[in-house]
Amino acid sequence: MQQQVPVREVNQHLSKYIEMVESGEEVIITKRGKPVARLSAIESERTLTEAQQQAYARVSERMNSGYHLGGSALDRDQLHER
């Protein structure tokens, strides 16, 4: 079910409209009677293509291993010498 609500009303009672969305409704937010935004639930399960899954695995592995930017770590005394 879809309901149109003025932005002022949504602003004042956002938690009420979040609950409505969680229960499966969709809220169209209007400004001066014109629809400007849609408030809807996020799909709980996102499906990725095989290529996206492989790219995600590569990025995750690289992020977990970290990046070496060269140089060495400075201790507190070295930082204050600069």
* Residue 17 to residue 63: CA distance in whole angstroms: 37
Structural domains present in the chain: 1-64 (3.40.1620.10)
pLDDT of 75 = 84
Q: SS3 of 39, please?
A: strand
* Residue 17 to residue 27: CA distance in whole angstroms: 7
Regions of the chain with pLDDT less than 70: 44-46, 82
* Residue 34 to residue 17: CA distance in whole angstroms: 18
